[in-house]
Structure 1
Amino acid sequence: MTFYKIASILPLCVLMACENGPNFAELCEQNPEICLEFQEDTWCKRERIAVGFANLADKVEANDSNKFQQLIAYEGYAKCMAHASKIEHIKLKIKKTIRINNVMKAQEKIKEISLATRNSEHPDLLFFHWSRYLNEHSLAKFVALEGNELLEKPNRQVNLASFYAKRDPNKTLKLLYHALELYESDATLDTEIFKSIASIFADKKEHKQAYIWSKILHLYNPEDTNITDKSLDSYAKGSGLNHEFLDKVANSTLNKIIAGKFKSPHS
């Protein structure tokens, strides 16, 4: 079973500028030092913009929450640019050098912010330092927050679930369900939750539930190549399932999640 170690989706206001905030061009005009951090490149623009707004948010108000968003933004940029740096340019090989330099700058910023936040009590940073650096002290503090209002957010329930994944599948399932309960209507959903729930049921050989949650994943993100109409049909036939009925259950369940009205069957 696989989980994202930590939620990597930045808030919409970080990616696209808050409704009343500047757009990226205005950000660069008003804060040139932010936009001059990396050498200009045509690749990874979305990730670079995310870094820019994360840095602006921290500049306006430096706090642990914004530091966490910086770390996630820099990680996203470094990962994207590391891939881009592997692409050889026949005519402009200097591009590869620029991209490698940008990767190194991002990695240095990650180290810098990580060092500055290593003693943070912020839930997301506690899990970050465990998942990235195997900081047992941070993990212990994070797990100790179980049941605390501070963990009543979808990504934090997913992170807690990842801790219990190999220890207690039933508790893991309960936490993943609760993560879905915590989503507000029309929020962007973490599809790893669907994958993980389906995986748990597949391991338990509960084929109906495994099918339902795989179908939910396919309905919500049809571009995910892990699940296709063909693979779902094959699974249903191989397990002797009434896929027409289960498809209705999957549709109904997903609609409740999207509407922010999902209730855990383990409640």
Structure 2
Amino acid sequence: MFLTIRRLALLIPTAFLLSACFDSKPTTEQLCEDHEALQCAQLNMNDGQCRSQRDALILNRFDVLKSNSDLDKLKTIKATHQYQTCLTSAAQIEPITAKEIKSKRTEALLDTYDAIDALTLELKDSKEPKVLFYRWATGDKNALRAFLQLEGTNVLETTELQYALATFYTQRDGNKTILILNHALELLTEQDYDNNQHTTVIKSLASINHKEKNKEHAYVWALVGKGYELQVASEQQLDLLYQFTDVEKERLKQASELIKESIDNLAFKASLLPTENK
């Protein structure tokens, strides 16, 4: 029995090492070496600038290589934009030692435009809602029509896509925009919360309610925003904008605290909002 346990003890470290080897993820350098289709030669790999954005882009390209899905292509476009933004700044830096560094950065920057154009072309017939919204946001009116046709269907029942839908109605129908944004918070998931989707919606609700002269709801959402340390009006500014009595302010403050708690618990319902007294 002693020998068996001892042998087992000796084997355990080896098993962990083998497991670690199989579980380890390849580096971006390894991916580039193994997959020419990632086109890493265009990414100025030896430059210390924009490394994190470049690594993220390579990993996104690798996802596309594996899945060829429209959503992964869209993520790659966004990653390319982030790399592009960083390169734009880096290309302005005057290197002290090697002048060709600036030239290589400029070349890599120009290549990002071609890469985005190529992926955008591949997505021109996509029916994925997120892709349709991206295409609309970049000027494709046909994509807007296709996106709006999905309104009321299950495919738009996410916080992100409800917010996207609300952006269309912002300048057209304020009350409908509010209903959509409220529903966006009702659909909030843990991942949405981690990605700060709720704060984006909250800021929009404070703004659109103020615009629509829904003073109590605007005040409540401003207080909720302050609870998340968002850049909203100060207490003094809020008092000037919304001249409530102390009793009214206390009632609205309690409502805001309840609403924030519900959002933190992913349990917000529009019915939690106080009845608006206009």
**Alignment match of 2:152 (pick from 135, 147, 156):** 147
Which aligned pairs between 1:9-24 and structure 2 lie closer than 5 A? 23=25
User: Is 1:187 aligned to 2:194, yes or no?
Assistant: yes
> Normalization by structure 2: what TM-score?
0.75
Name the structure 2 match of 1:85: 91
Q: Is the 8 A contact 1:164 1:172 kept in 2?
A: yes
1:111 alignment partner in structure 2 = 117
Alignment of 1:54 with 2:57, yes or no, is no
Counterpart residue type for residue 47 of structure 1: Q
| Maintained 8 Å contact 1:57/1:66 | yes
Counterpart CA distance in 2 for 1:212 and 1:218 is 10
Equivalent residue, structure 1, for 2:210: 202
Work out whether residues 81 and 103 of structure 1, in 8 Å CA contact, stay in contact via their aligned partners in 2: yes
Higher helix share: 2
Q: Residue type of the partner of 1:233?
A: E
- Identity over the aligned pairs, expressed in percent? 27
* Residue type at the aligned position of 1:240: Q
SS at match of 2:270: coil
In the superposition, the TM-score normalised over structure 1's length comes to 0.78
Structure 1 residue runs of 5 or longer lacking an equivalent are: 1-19
One-letter amino acid of the structure 1 residue matched with residue 217 of structure 2: Q
Mean alpha-carbon deviation: is it higher for 208-217 or for 193-202?
A: 208-217
**Corresponding letter in the other structure for 1:110:** I
Instruction: Say whether the 8 Å CA contact 1:158–1:179 is kept in structure 2.
Output: yes
1:195 aligned counterpart, secondary structure: helix
Q: Give the Cα–Cα distance (whole angstroms) in 2 for the partners of residues 245 and 163 of structure 1.
A: 33
Q: Is the 8 A contact 1:126 1:141 kept in 2?
A: yes
Q: Highest CA radius of gyration, 1 or 2?
A: 2
The amino acid that maps onto 2:237 is Y
1:195-215 CA distances to partner (integer Å, 9 max, x unpaired)? 211111111233332233233
User: How far, CA to CA, are the matches of 1:55 and 1:21 in structure 2?
Assistant: 21
Deviation of 1:62 (Å): 0.6
Which residue of 172, 178, 184 maps to 1:167?
172
1:145 corresponds to which letter in structure 2? Answer: L
Matched to 1:209, the amino acid is H
Please identify, of 101-110 and 233-242, the stretch whose mean Cα deviation from structure 2 is larger: 233-242
Q: How does 1:1-267 map to 2 (within 5 A)?
A: 23=25, 26-32=27-33, 33=36, 34=38, 35-40=40-45, 41-89=47-95, 94-132=100-138, 134-185=139-190, 186-190=193-197, 191-220=199-228, 222=229, 226-227=231-232, 231-238=233-240, 239-241=242-244, 242=246, 246-265=252-271
Match of 2:7 in 1: none
SS state at 2:27 partner:
helix
Q: What is the alpha-carbon distance in structure 1 between the residues aligned to residue 85 and residue 74 of structure 2?
A: 17
Tell me by how many angstroms 1:169 deviates.
0.9
Q: Which moved more, 1:88-97 or 1:247-256?
A: 88-97
Structure 1 pair 95/250, CA: closer, same or farther in 2 (3 Å)? farther
Deviations 1:141-182 (A, max 9, x none): 110000111111211111111111111111111111111111
User: What SS does structure 2 have at the residue aligned with 1:71?
Assistant: helix
**Bigger RCO of structures 1 and 2 (CA < 8 A, at least 6 apart):** 1
Supply the distance in 1 between the matched residues of 2:227 and 2:170 (Cα, whole angstroms): 25
What is the aligned partner in structure 2 of residue 8 from structure 1?
none
Contact 1:174–1:266 (Cα < 8 Å) also in 2: no
Letter in 1 for 2:184: A
* Structure 1 residue 246, shift from structure 2 partner: 4.0
Distance 2:225 2:102 in 1: 37
CA RMSD of aligned residues (A): 2.7
- 1:214 to 1:245, Cα distance in 2 relative to 1, 3 A: same
